[in-house]
Amino acid sequence: MCEFDFKAGFKAGAEWQANQSPWVSVKERLPENQDIVLVRGEYGGKATAYLHGEYSGFIVYGEDAYKVFGEITHWMPIPDLEE
């Protein structure tokens, strides 16, 4: 009976972890200054960007980002391709 409970708990924990989003809200915290990260805007677009000082905001590579993304709402570290 104990082994069944352990397996059920492990499976539930694995399912919970799989549903966790890697996106971090900019309201929770910001990336380190100058770290290149993935960002997501209020209009749903995604891009690569870096934080140019807490008060200067994100610098998004490419076109006029504000028209495409609106305000940046979330960010996440770029996944390591070696993993």
DSSP label of 42:
T
Is residue 54 a contact partner of residue 33, using CB atoms and an 8 Å limit? yes
Supply the range of the domain harboring residue 59: 22-83
Q: Is residue 10 part of a domain?
A: no
Residue 16 has a pLDDT of 63
Indicate whether 2 belongs to any domain.
no
Residue 8 lies in a domain: no
pLDDT of residue 10: 67
Question: Does some domain include residue 16?
Answer: no
pLDDT band at 13 (very low <50, low <70, confident <90, very high): low
Side-chain-side CA neighbours of residue 2 (13 Å): 0
Inter-residue contact 51 to 30 (CB < 8 Å) = yes
Q: Based on the structure, what is the number of domains in the chain?
A: 1
Model confidence pLDDT, tens digit, residues 19-51: 677 889 989 988 887 788 888 877 777 676 666
Please indicate, yes or no, if residue 67 is contained in any of the structural domains: yes
DSSP states of 59-81: EESSS-HHHHH-SEEEEEEPPPT
- Percent of the chain scoring above 70 in pLDDT: 51
- Residue 6 forms part of a structural domain: no
Stated pTM of the model: 0.58
The per-residue pLDDT for 61 is: 64
